[in-house]
């Protein structure tokens, strides 16, 4: 997630998602993959400084996983090559789900799968580059542009033919943006349509939602977005819920964290951000997470506001000790949406004539080297 899943947050989430005594951990020892913020193919190929700065990995990060944005097969192929050869990346995901107007207006993100041939060419370029390093390539997409212009079933078939290792589907169209509820039936339909693994995405707020999604749709796994905002411990719950050891699953997850445990995670988050980007920048970066961590807990407005203005770890420490560590987890927050929601768009911005044909081989889709708005 753009602006969220930097090296520090990925480390915190994986610390939470790794069951310490090894019980029930998945083959990789954690709840799954923690994907780096999206970077653009062109930015990487052209050596854009911001793009390169985003490609930072924690020393503990055993499996490096990166999401690429791209609209041009040549750039995407080259960028995949660079990720594998220079950054030791073990998994590349391609983003075809971004609904942001400045992206779709240029034919990128969720607009791109409408051009079936171009989509296939991009996927093939990435898969071929990854294959030289034994690195699997996956793709993430939405249902389509709107209900009249669905793309996901064709995208699944094209991905499979291109040798893509798995496809993740966010059960919304671009026009829905983040509004309404995700259509899990579409995930089930995609699962029936393709042989490659399907990962379901949309509206997983608790581990129980992930289990329900897998049961309802037959999906092979899940992708979590907003549900982890201020909740790195969601991965602990997911590791337990999907444990291969039935005894772990039967025992159930650990208890919901009290406020003291949450503030310990907040402190760890700020500290890790500081380690990666220096204390001052790290504290600034931490500020946006405060309201997510404290959502529903009995913490006064003044204290929350002060925490969202910290510049040093010492300031944060002085504020964190003022909360009641024994305050119970706010049960009313369970299963409720967090992060971006908003309303549906009236239209999806697209290049002129975009919907007139579904090929796209000769359409020039100009890629923005510094596009970092995500999906």
Ligand X SMILES: Cc1cc2nc3c(=O)[nH]c(=O)nc-3n(C[C@H](O)[C@H](O)[C@H](O)COP(=O)(O)O)c2cc1C
Residues forming the site for ligand X (CB under 6 A): 1-4, 37-38, 67, 95, 97, 140, 170, 201-204, 224-227, 339-340, 374-375
Going by C-alpha positions, the residue among 208, 192, 186 that lies closest to residue 200 is 186
**Is 54:39 a contact under the CB 8 Å cutoff?**
yes
Nearest distance, CB of residue 227 and ligand X, angstroms = 5
**Is 186:153 a contact under the CB 8 Å cutoff?**
no
Rg of the Cα atoms in the chain: 20
Whichever of 274 and 375 has its CB closer to ligand X, that residue is 375
Give residue for tokens 């510094």.
370
**Alpha-carbon dihedral sign for residues 98, 345, 142, 209:** positive
Whichever of 55 and 259 has its CB closer to ligand X, that residue is 55
Whichever of 2 and 84 has its CB closer to ligand X, that residue is 2
Measured at the CA of 180, the angle between CA 177 and CA 186, to 5 degrees, comes to: 85
Nearest distance, CB of residue 366 and ligand X, angstroms = 20
98 in active site: yes
Nearest distance, CB of residue 15 and ligand X, angstroms = 21
Nearest distance, CB of residue 269 and ligand X, angstroms = 16
Whichever of 140 and 269 has its CB closer to ligand X, that residue is 140
Nearest distance, CB of residue 228 and ligand X, angstroms = 8
The percent of the chain in helix, strand and coil, each rounded to the nearest 5, is 45, 10, 45
Whichever of 125 and 168 has its CB closer to ligand X, that residue is 168
Question: Which residue(s) pair with 173 in the sheet?
Answer: 144
Going by C-alpha positions, the residue among 101, 14, 22, 20 that lies closest to residue 63 is 14
**Is 116:67 a contact under the CB 8 Å cutoff?**
no
13, 36, 98, 228: the catalytic one is 98
Q: What is the DSSP code string of 104-170?
A: HTTT-GGGGGGSHHHHHHHHHHHHHHHHTTT--EEEEEEEEEETTEE-HHHHHHHHHHHT-SEEEEE
Whichever of 11 and 170 has its CB closer to ligand X, that residue is 170
Rounded alpha-carbon distances, angstroms, from residue 375 to 100, 144, 175: 8, 13, 13
Q: Annotated active-site positions, please? A: 98
């Amino acid at each position: 997630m753009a602006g969220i899943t930097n090296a520090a947050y990925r480390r915190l989430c994986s610390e939470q998602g790794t069951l310490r005594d090894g019980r029930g951990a998945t083959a990789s020892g954690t709840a799954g993959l923690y994907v780096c913020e999206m970077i653009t193919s062109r930015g990487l190929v052209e050596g854009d400084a911001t793009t390169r700065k985003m490609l930072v990995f924690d020393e503990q990060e055993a499996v490096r996983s990166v999401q690429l944005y791209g609209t041009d097969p040549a750039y995407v192929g080259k960028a995949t090559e660079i990720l594998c050869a220079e950054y030791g990346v073990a998994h590349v995901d391609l983003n075809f789900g971004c609904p942001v107007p400045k992206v779709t207006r240029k034919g990128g993100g969720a607009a791109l799968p409408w051009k079936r041939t171009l989509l296939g060419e991009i996927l093939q370029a990435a898969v071929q580059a990854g294959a030289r390093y034994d690195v699997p390539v996956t793709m993430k997409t939405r249902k389509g542009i709107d209900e009249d212009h669905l793309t996901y079933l064709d995208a699944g078939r094209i991905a499979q033919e291109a040798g893509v290792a798995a496809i993740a589907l966010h059960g919304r169209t671009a026009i829905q943006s983040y509004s309404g509820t995700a259509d899990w039936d579409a995930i089930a339909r995609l699962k029936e349509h393709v042989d490659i693994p399907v990962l379901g995405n949309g509206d997983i707020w608790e581990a129980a939602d992930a289990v329900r999604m897998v049961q309802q749709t037959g999906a092979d796994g899940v992708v979590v977005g907003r549900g982890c905002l201020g909740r790195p411990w969601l991965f602990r719950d997911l590791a337990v819920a999907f444990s291969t050891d039935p005894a772990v699953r039967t025992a159930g997850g650990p208890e919901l964290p009290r406020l003291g445990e949450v503030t310990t995670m907040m402190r760890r988050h700020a500290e890790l951000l500081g380690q990666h980007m220096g204390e001052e920048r790290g504290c600034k970066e931490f500020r946006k997470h405060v309201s997510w961590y404290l959502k529903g807990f009995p913490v006064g407005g003044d204290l929350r506001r002060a925490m969202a203005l910290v510049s040093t770890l010492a300031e944060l420490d002085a504020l964190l000790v003022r909360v009641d560590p024994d305050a119970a987890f706010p049960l009313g927050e369970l299963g409720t949406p967090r992060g971006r929601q908003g309303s549906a768009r009236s239209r999806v911005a697209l290049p002129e004539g975009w919907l007139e044909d579904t090929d796209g081989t000769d359409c020039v889709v100009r890629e923005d080297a510094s596009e970092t708005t995500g999906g």
